[in-house]
Amino acid sequence: MCPRRAERPPRGNLFLACDGGSSSFKAALFEIGDPVPHAPQAARWEGAIAWKRVPGPAGLTSRGHAQQDANSHVSLDRTIDAPGRLLASMEAGELVSARGIAVHRIVHAGDFERSPARLTDSVRRAIESAEALAPEHNALALAGVDAVARLWPGTEQFIVSDSAYHADMPLAASTYAVPSAWNRVWGIRRLGFHGISHGYSAARSAQLLGKPMRALKIVTCHLGNGCSLAATAAGASIDTTMGWTPMEGLAMGQRSGSLDPGIMLYLLERGRYDAAELRRVLNEESGLKGISGLSGDMREIIETAEAGHPGATLAFDVFVHRVRSGIGAMAASLGGIDALVFTGGIGENAHPVRRAVCSGLEFLGIALDDELDARAQPDCDVSARSASARTLIVRARETWEIARQCALVMERANA
């Protein structure tokens, strides 16, 4: 864990942001001073480890303060090994131990949905108890917690809830049409996820448009291996597509998204699946992968669809249909739309997806400049001149937002 080259002393507080997803684990080290800046800052170090299947190979990339990329492949036996493998490759590791605070994105944070919160034993137990509700995420996040504790003993650790941005949604949007006791006893309601990404991309789009976020009606589309939409009005989330778990909503890479509950009852009652196997299939064998029979990777879906593969073509069409109809629902909740924002791996990089989604949304004032969009780089406006609503691509900077939220909490505490 020694540095590979001399490091300048930090001028502000150091925050190691850790973000475990369904197909990757990312981390970045930020130096944040007072006052906490609004604009995204460059990381002193950042890295990611990504996989398609486990056990199997995973790609590890990292970039230190010299801005030189290092790429390698490692073998992963379990996804929970990923955080340790990535963080052990980190430059300037001793700075974390000496001055740093580690902050972790928690998808299902139990009762701590309005975080950031200091990681205590009770917070950890709440995260562990919610693991069945976010099986692809919570265990990985806790593996990151354990890796930090092992590599840099004594480092202070915090969590940031991925649902916090949606915590004040109207009851009409967050309440399921089930017995109210389900909410009172078990807390079952629409929590929403990808809140860190939705909140950041909505704020960033307002910056790019030069308008106050409070004055805009924004639909954000976080499209990656996991996918969700959110509606932001007056600077707050008022609706979203994910629910009590990250399984609800859009079709995703390997997750089914919304499904008629009667289908699951049918399969369970007839003994075709038990609960554990059904959970596995809906989380790991559905979505783009299930429809195409090939892959949950949109890049492969687009390539094989263009080559004429019927399963890939159908998977692409279902994905686009779900996103487009979801945008319509979010716009209805908002009573209109000023900005449509694409973010996440697919949202930022897949021009064919953006083009297909926006086609047919002219009634909302959305029109894409196809030539501009095909060569666009985040952060930018790709709207046609005729559009009354703006369409933007915003780079997902979840690690920055994780660190920034924790820095804001500490700034207020020290004020």
User: pLDDT of 325-336, one tens digit each?
Assistant: 999 999 999 999
Q: pTM for the full model?
A: 0.91
| pLDDT value of residue 393 | 99
Q: In Å, what is the CA distance from 136 to each residue of 143, 241, 246, 342, 350?
A: 12, 18, 10, 23, 24
Contact assessment for residue 286 and residue 256, using Cβ atoms and an 8 Å cutoff? yes
| pLDDT value of residue 2 | 30
Count the Cβ atoms, other than its own, within 10 Å of residue 223.
28
DSSP secondary-structure letter at 113? T
Q: What angle do CA 32, 166, 256 make, to 5 degrees?
A: 110
Residue found by looking up tokens 């692809």 in the block: 136
Mean pLDDT of the chain: 90
| pLDDT value of residue 132 | 80
Domains of the chain: 13-161 (3.30.420.40), 210-393 (3.30.420.40)
Name, in order, each residue with C-beta under 8 angstroms of 219's C-beta and a sequence gap of 6 or more.
Answer: 229, 230, 231, 232, 327, 330, 331, 334, 337, 339, 340, 341
Burial of 379-388, coded b for 16+ CB within 10 Å and e otherwise, reads bebbbbeebe
| pLDDT value of residue 100 | 86
Q: Which of 81, 162, 338, 373 is catalytic?
A: 162
Tell me if residue 162 is catalytic: yes
d(CA 330, CA 334): 6
Contact assessment for residue 265 and residue 275, using Cβ atoms and an 8 Å cutoff? no
DSSP secondary-structure letter at 330? H
One digit per residue, the tens of pLDDT, for the chain of length 415 reads: 333 444 555 567 899 999 988 788 999 999 998 899 988 899 989 999 988 777 878 888 877 755 556 777 777 777 888 888 888 888 666 667 667 899 999 988 766 567 688 999 988 998 888 888 887 788 899 999 999 999 998 899 999 999 999 999 999 999 999 999 999 999 999 999 999 999 999 999 999 999 999 999 999 999 999 999 999 999 999 999 999 999 999 999 999 999 999 999 999 999 889 999 999 999 999 999 999 999 999 999 999 999 999 999 999 999 999 999 999 999 999 999 999 999 999 999 999 999 999 999 999 999 999 999 999 989 999 999 999 999 999 999 999 999 999 999 988 877 6
First to last CA, the chain: 34
| pLDDT value of residue 92 | 62
Q: What angle do CA 371, 372, 376 make, to 5 degrees?
A: 125
d(CA 205, CA 223): 16
User: pLDDT of 84-107, one tens digit each?
Assistant: 888 888 866 666 766 789 999 998
For residue 170, whether the previous peptide bond is cis, meaning omega lies within 30 degrees of 0, is no
